[in-house]
Chain A
Amino acid sequence: MQDFLTLVLEPFREVFSGFKRFAPNMLAMLTILIGGLVFARIIRLLLRKALIALSFDAWSDRMGFTVMMRKGDLWTKPTEAVVRVVFWFLVIFTLMIGLGALKVHAVDNLVAQFFLYLPRAFSAVLILSIGYVAAGFMSRTVLITLVNNGYHYAKLLAEAVRMLLIVLILAMALEQLQVAPNIVVAAFSIIFGGIVIALAIAFGVGGIDAARRIIEKGAAEKIEGKDDIQHL
């Protein structure tokens, strides 16, 4: 009976002693996480106040950063954008340090890989940032051009352009991150091709009436003739 009890209790003891060994690390991780989050929040607050005091928004306007953000359809103030980027960088950094404090071999490897991975991640972030700005700019160009020419589906087409570009940019970023590159390329080809075929079918079959209306409207406008008005 005693042997049986020992057999039953032994795993509990091992788990308990393992927990006793692990608990300080866990506590350290939680402390680092909480401390880091508090630190990140304080930095966020101080940074926001400092940037406002330094008129960072006005400086960004002068340097053209605001225009660059607007090109990408980013409407937050430059100060807020910088504050958010710094805050989330600190959160992620804290998380990595916290995970390192667990002293679990697998997690240690993960953290080490994370830091080795940083250059690739940086490139991917760069691709995403530039791509996002470019996609926003292209989308707005399409939107304004189509509206100024009187097309009814301007917003839809502009959003479609944005979506296609974002799919392309995401694929490029994932390829840069080396996340299953073959699958990414295949998935991208399937999704991109799929969207194009879907649009073609939607317009060719589902949108026969809409297509007819557009063509008829175009023909009608040609028959009516354009304005003689000289704007200049």
Chain B
Amino acid sequence: MKTVTLRKEVAEQLDVLNNVEILVGIPSYNNARTIGHVVRAVQAGLAKYFPGRKAVLVNSDGGSRDGTMDVVRSTRIEDQAAILMHHRIESVPVIATPYEGIPGKGSAFKAIFEIADALNAKACAVVDSDLRSITPEWVELLLEPVLREESDFVAPLYHRHKFDGTITNSIVYPLTRALYGKRVRQPIGGDFGFSGKLARFYLAKDVWETDVARFGVDIWMTTTAVANGFAVSQSFLGAKIHDTKDPGADLSAMLYQVVSATFGLMETYPDVWMQAHGSEPVRTYGFQYAVGLEQVNVNVERMLTIFREGLRNLREIWIAVLGQGDYGEVESLGSAGTDAFRFPPSLWSRIIYDYALAYHRKKLPAEHLIKSLTPLYLGRTASFVLEMRDADQNGAEEEIERLCEEFEKNKDYLLNNWK
């Protein structure tokens, strides 16, 4: 039994459990307010959809001081009738343990993978601890394709407000789709299903002392599964509503974490993404339905102000990264008024490729490089908001599809300049 970073009491629990078929992991850090709902949904999901299978719930905690683990240990489904279960619910064993190692979601996942490996779990799922919209059905949708041995990796597919998830919509999804040729719509969704075999594969990777342990584990899991030929699918889970992570969170820091992780993986799998051409859909599970979403207010003026400040102050950096040609196009956008402001998808795709090339060539320290992308990203986001102001969800999705096609069309530019 591999228990490299597991505590003694956890190892004892594992000895008692011996083997399980299903493992559901919940990474957490100070989520006492929301984790109870997540645990109840998971317990209900396991009881409702997998009553005959041996399961365990694992909470991998980053040292919460608000009693998160106590909430996990004490949470039980109170009203079985509310979820229409005819059979008796046997309580699912719960392992709540602080993980060890570098603080971060990656380390939390590593502890979950280790427990999955130790218990020889057949199918696993991880769900975020701040979810407000999780239902018992999520458990089935993430685990069933794995248990049926149709998938090794199940990514989530959510309905989100057309203006939410813009880093995913304008960078991560189009880029990973163009690179690896698979249309995984939410590659950094955070809620995944995966096989025990894939958990062991993740665990064997020598990344747990790197930035993957801190941030970027979501894109790392998706890309690792896709690039190594595992069977990948996605499940429609409905709306994703979660607690606002940190209202003061710095956008450029978020951008740095996500984009540097994505660019870093390009260095790991050049042979894979250089061979991929075009893209193909992945198998999608779940019944898709329209979801009512909360109104999202967007301050376009502020975004454009930052874009114009970038034009005024970051000229040298942008020329070094983009070259005179693309910089000239960006510069010409500065003179447009707010209503007429449009950031062409083709230019945006070349900019992301230019940044990927600059990252590859180490033109600047990675943090400076990617943070200097922030004003450009806000310019592109402002343009998307202005264009899609009157469009519905489908209209916005069609625009994202057009952007993805631009990324695929311009991939040769990346290939020709990658040395």
CB-defined contacts of B251 to chain A, threshold 8 Å? 148, 231
B317 proximity list for chain A (CB < 8 A): 140, 144
User: Are B168 and A147 neighbours in the complex by a CB distance under 8 Å?
Assistant: no
Q: Mark A131-158, 1 if CB is under 8 A from B, else 0.
A: 0000001001101111111111011001
Docked-complex contact A232 and B302, CB < 8 angstroms: no
**27 A-B pairs whose Cβ atoms sit less than 8 Å apart in the complex:** A67-B362, A70-B365, A140-B317, A141-B368, A143-B314, A144-B368, A144-B371, A146-B313, A147-B306, A147-B310, A147-B313, A148-B251, A148-B306, A148-B371, A150-B306, A150-B309, A152-B309, A224-B299, A225-B297, A227-B298, A227-B299, A229-B166, A230-B244, A231-B251, A232-B167, A232-B254, A232-B258
Contact mask for chain A residues 197-232; partner B; CB cutoff 8 A; 1 contact, 0 none: 000000000000000000000000100111111111
Q: How far is the CB of A98 from chain B (nearest CB, A)?
A: 40
Q: A35 contacts the other chain (Cβ, under 8 Å)?
A: no
Taking a contact as CB atoms under 8 Å apart, the answer to whether A140 and B368 are in contact is: yes
Chain A CB within 8 A of B234 CB = no
> B293-318 toward A: CB 8 Å interface, digit per residue (1/0)?
00111110010011001101110110
What separation, in Å, do the CA atoms of A147 and B368 have in the docked complex?
12
CB-CB under 8 A from B188, the residues of chain A are 232
Closest to A151 in B: B309
Q: Does B361 contact A (CB under 8 A)?
A: yes
Does the CB pair A230–B165 fall under 8 Å? yes
Complex Cα distance A149/B371, Å? 11
Shortest B165–chain A CB gap in Å is 7
B186 CB → nearest A CB, Å? 11
> Once bound together, how far apart are the Cα atoms of A144 and B167, in whole Å?
19
Q: Is the CB of B302 within 8 A of A154?
A: no
- Cβ contacts under 8 Å, B163 to chain A: 229
| Known A75-B320, A226-B299, A227-B298; contact A232-B168, beta-carbon cutoff 8 A | yes
A162 lies within 8 A of chain B by Cβ: no
19-72 of chain A: CB within 8 A of chain B: 61, 64, 66-67, 70-71
Whether B181 sits at the interface, judged by CB under 8 Å, is no
The majority secondary structure among interface residues of chain A is helix
Cα distance A67–B188 when bound, in Å?
A: 29
Q: How extensive is the interface on chain A, given as a class?
A: 20 to 34
Residues on B with C-beta less than 8 A from A154 are: 309, 312-313
Give the one of A137, A148, A229 with max B CB within 10 A.
Answer: A148
- Of residues 218 through 265 on chain B, the ones whose CB sits less than 8 Å from some CB of chain A are 244-245, 247, 250-252, 254-255, 258
Contacts of B320 in A (CB 8 A): 75
Size bin of chain B's contact surface: 35 or more
Cα distance A152–B362 in the bound complex, in angstroms: 29
Which residue of A has the minimal Cβ distance to B171? A231
Output the least CB separation between B83 and chain A (Å): 29
The residues in A between 186 and 205 inclusive whose CB is less than 8 angstroms from any CB of B are: none
Chain B residues whose CB sits within 8 angstroms of the CB of A148 once the complex forms = 250-252, 306, 371, 374-375
B364 to A, closest residue via Cβ: A70
> Considering the chains assembled together, what is the distance between the CA atoms of A75 and B363 in angstroms?
10
The reply on B349 being an interface residue by CB < 8 A is no
In the assembly, what is the distance between CA of A147 and CA of B314, in Å?
8
Q: What 8 A-B pairs come out closest when comparing CB atoms?
A: A148-B374, A148-B252, A228-B297, A155-B313, A150-B306, A228-B296, A230-B164, A154-B313
* Residue B195 lies at the interface, judged by CB distance under 8 Å to chain A: no
CB <8 Å contact, B254 and A144: no
Cβ contact within 8 Å between B364 and A67: yes
Beyond known contacts A147-B313, A225-B297: 19 more, CB 8 A cutoff: A67-B362, A67-B364, A67-B365, A75-B316, A137-B365, A140-B368, A141-B368, A143-B313, A148-B251, A148-B374, A150-B302, A150-B309, A228-B295, A229-B296, A230-B165, A231-B251, A232-B188, A232-B245, A232-B254
Report B-chain residues with C-beta under 8 Å of the C-beta of A146.
313
CA distance in complex: A229, B296 (Å) = 6
Closest to A227 in B: B299
Interface residues of B in 12-41 (CB under 8 A from A): none
Cβ-based interface call for B372 (8 A): yes
Task: Write out the residue numbers on chain A whose beta carbons fall within 8 Å of the beta carbon of B361.
Answer: 61
Interface residues as binary, A97-120 with B (CB distance below 8 Å gives 1, 0 otherwise):
000000000000000000000000
